[in-house]
Chain A
Amino acid sequence: MGSLPSMGDYGFYIGASYGLALLFMLLEPWLLGRKKRSVIKNVQRFVRINKNRHD
Chain B
Amino acid sequence: MRINWFKYAAPANFYPIAGALAPWFIALAGVLAIIGLYWGFFQTPDILTDQKQYYRIIFVHVASAWMGMWLYAMLVLWALIGIIFNTRLSYMFAAAIAPTGAMFTFLSLWTGAFWGEPSWGTWWDWDPRMTSMLILLFLYIGYMALQSAIDDPRRSDKASSVLAMVGLVMVPVIYWSVNCPNPAECAALHQSSSMEQIDPNIRNAMFIMVASFWIYSFGVIMLRIRNIILEREKQTRWVQELKECQ
Contact = CB atoms under 8 A, between A and B. Distances in A.
Interface of A: 4, 6-10, 13-14, 16-18, 20-21, 24-25, 28-29, 32-33, 35-36, 39-40, 42-44, 46-47
B224 interface: yes
B64 A42 contact: no
Interface of B: 26, 37, 41-42, 44, 46, 52-54, 56-57, 60-61, 64, 99-100, 103, 107, 110-111, 114-115, 117-118, 216, 219-220, 223-224, 226-227, 230-231, 234-235, 239-240, 242, 244-246
Contacts of B227: 32, 35-36, 39
Q: What DSSP secondary structure best describes chain A's contact surface? A: helix
A24 B106 CA distance: 10
A42 B234 contact: yes
Contacts of B103: 24, 28
Given A4-B41, A36-B227, A40-B244, A17 B57 contact: yes
A21 B60 contact: yes
Given A13-B114, A14-B53, A29-B219, A6 B41 contact: yes
A14 B100 contact: no
A17 B234 contact: no
Given A14-B54, A16-B114, A32 B231 contact: no
